Amino acid sequence: ASAERMLEAGQITEALIFAGDCLSDWPLAERYLPGCTLLGDGYALLRLSLRPGGIQISRIATRNYPDYAGGLDGPAEEMARFNRAQLQIITEALDQTGHDARRDALFPHNINGLCWRLFSRMTGQPKDRVHDGLVREIGHCCNADPFLVLDRALKAGTTVDGTILSIGMAGFVGVAAIRNEAALAQAA
């Protein structure tokens, strides 16, 4: 959101944003969450500008839910409350971008397939438009996940119009609408 404001104000013409996590030095017992995921290493570099074409990012929204700030280090009761609230948090975040579950693709964290199956059932979002399928190959790479699954979809020629979503167990959520203007220009 800060890069967006600086670009729009003319303070900068481009921004590079690096997102990534390296968890390979953690013990396997701390990286493997039974029935959920394996924490992996992943990185993404985004080059942002106001030029037309390519992937366009709009309607960015972020929110922090301090009741879940403990994350993995918090008490078990807090994590249970977060898990119960997760679908509501996701829905609220997607509403801020105008996400249309029946039309738009979703590029979320690469974790918790059960959550995404429940989300699809509750919202009518077709499961094949929820791009969360890299967990078997690379694990959950924390803040890089939405960009890694987006990259995979782009390489496969998949329509990417939709929403990227990051939701963390420490109560932070970030969401943005995306549109592939390059694909639209080629189709015209």
Cα dist from 181 to 30, 99, 117, 150, 186, whole Å: 41, 17, 29, 15, 9
Question: Which amino acid, one-letter code, is at 83?
Answer: N
Q: Express each pLDDT in 103-113 by its tens digit.
A: 899 998 877 67
Q: Express each pLDDT in 129-184 by its tens digit.
A: 998 877 777 777 778 888 888 998 888 888 889 999 988 778 889 999 999 876 54
Q: What distance in Å separates the CA atoms of residue 167 and residue 109, rounded to the nearest whole number?
A: 7
pLDDT range class, residue 1, cuts 50, 70, 90 = low
Report if pTM > 0.85.
Answer: no
Chain centroid, CA 111 distance in Å = 10
